[in-house]
Structure 1
Amino acid sequence: MLKMFQYNWQVRDEWFHWCEKVSSEELLRKRVGGVGNILQTLFHIADVEWSWIRTIQGKPDFQEDFKSHMSLELVRKLSDSFHTEVEEFLQTWTNDRDGILVTDPWGREFTQGEILRHTIAHEIHHIGQLSVWSRELGLAPVSPNFINRGIR
């Protein structure tokens, strides 16, 4: 699991670098699909990842407000701050926890493994949306390749 999260983190970081080439207006422009715009999608990816990890840990979740993070710098800073807690958790996670049941804040039950795999797939899904929007802007998207990333 950790290797797939490491992959997502590398790709997310590359998207943050990609965003440096795009104006704030384009990053915040309303898009078809996703959660609204490029920057809000990156915010959403980080927030959802962190929220699910906190759910597994039995910690309370709180909703960060995108309106308080409407710049590339602020979204990147928030993602980095969440990353620390998520990585610390994943460093201690073992496969024997895969089937442990967790109840989310809405009363639904999932296994820890389901939640982690969902979180991985969730980010990959949104990265695909970012790739489409990148091409709409006439820019090359970040490579989604797992190979040659040094994750072994």
Structure 2
Amino acid sequence: MESIMSLQYDWVRGSREVLLQYCETISAADFCQENSSFGRGSIRNLLVHIANTYEFWLGEQALQKEVAFTSYEAVQNIKDAWLLFQEIDKLVEEFVASFGRSYLTNLEVSINDTSTKANPLKLFTHVITHEYHHKGQILSLSRHLGYVPVDTDIMR
């Protein structure tokens, strides 16, 4: 399963790369412009929220690491977002190396101060699907800002 998780994450990273390259075409002002119609408010905030979800579920909950969650203000431009996701890639590599062979073994996790169990495969699936959900919001928000979104699907 370790190699399957790595392969699947490679596809996610390829799709994310297309998104981040597209975000390079968005003005700095639009990148951080808040819009209350979209959950986290701005393209920047949505990208940071995606990263925070990896930090929380894979880093803090699964790997039991002390995580300093990235703040919105820590990412001021698309270059900062690229750097942030390089760190997320390292976190995912560590997660896959740690749990790729025990992917169905339940872990104790906490959600909203409630303890529950989830296996690493479920956590991995959650962070990936969560990323795609918010990637769609980023593309929709960019359209509202006057940009023409690109295809960021894995199959493109």
TM-score (norm 2): 0.81
Going from structure 1 to structure 2, the CA distance change for 1:141 and 1:76 (only over 3 Å counts) comes to same
Going from structure 1 to structure 2, the CA distance change for 1:20 and 1:37 (only over 3 Å counts) comes to same
Going from structure 1 to structure 2, the CA distance change for 1:3 and 1:141 (only over 3 Å counts) comes to farther
Q: Is the contact between residue 47 and residue 79 of structure 1 (CA under 8 Å) also seen in structure 2? A: no
Task: Give the equivalent residue in structure 1 for 2:54.
Answer: 49
Q: Is the contact between residue 109 and residue 116 of structure 2 (CA under 8 Å) also seen in structure 1? A: yes
Letter in 1 for 2:155: I
Alignment identity in percent?
Answer: 23
How many residue pairs were aligned? 148
Going from structure 1 to structure 2, the CA distance change for 1:88 and 1:137 (only over 3 Å counts) comes to same
Letter in 1 for 2:153: N
Letter in 1 for 2:71: D
Give structure 2 stretches of 5+ with no counterpart.
none
**Structure 1 residue 126, shift from structure 2 partner:** 0.3
1:140-151 alignment runs, 5 A limit: 140-147=148-155
**Structure 1 residue 92, shift from structure 2 partner:** 4.8
Q: Secondary structure at the match of 2:117?
A: strand
Task: Give the equivalent residue in structure 1 for 2:44.
Answer: 39
**Structure 1 segments of 4+ aligned residues over 4 angstroms from their partners:** none
Q: Secondary structure at the match of 1:104?
A: strand
Task: Give the equivalent residue in structure 2 for 1:115.
Answer: 123
**Structure 1 residue 91, shift from structure 2 partner:** 4.2
Structure 2 residue 18 is matched with structure 1 residue 14: yes
1:2-151 alignment runs, 5 A limit: 2-31=6-35, 32-54=37-59, 55-94=61-100, 96-104=102-110, 106-111=113-118, 112-147=120-155
Going from structure 1 to structure 2, the CA distance change for 1:83 and 1:94 (only over 3 Å counts) comes to closer
**Structure 1 residue 23, shift from structure 2 partner:** 0.8
Q: Secondary structure at the match of 1:97?
A: coil
